[in-house]
Amino acid sequence: MARVDEQESRKQQVMDQVRSELALANAQELINKINEKCFARCVTKPGAKLSGGEQDCLSKCMDRYMEAWNIVSRTYISRVQRESQNMGGPGGL
């Protein structure tokens, strides 16, 4: 019985590590996309400093991008959970 508990504990540790690494990868992707999209849109003539307008544009662009990212993420997670339940359990298997 202890062996089964040990295996379940190890399985949970691996799953937690995978979730953590996935969250980190998603955060890095979000930051990269924000930098790429918002900088190109807001900073037309790069210089030594950002103008007030560029700072405002970057701030608003970042807020909008993060809001859209969160909406898409929540919708995706909800859909995966729904489909998983419809297929009979976790992971759909």
Residue 93's pLDDT band, with cuts at 50, 70 and 90, is: very low
CATH number of 2-92: 1.10.287.810
The pLDDT tens digits for 20-72 are 999 899 889 989 999 999 999 999 888 999 999 999 999 999 999 999 999 99
Q: Name the DSSP letter for residue 57.
A: H
Q: What's residue 2's pLDDT?
A: 72
Contact 61, 41 (CB under 8 A): yes
The pTM of the full predicted model, rounded to 2 decimals, is 0.63
pLDDT exceeds 70 at position 92: no
| Domains of the chain by residue range | 2-92
Q: How far apart are CA 14 and CA 19, in angstroms?
A: 9
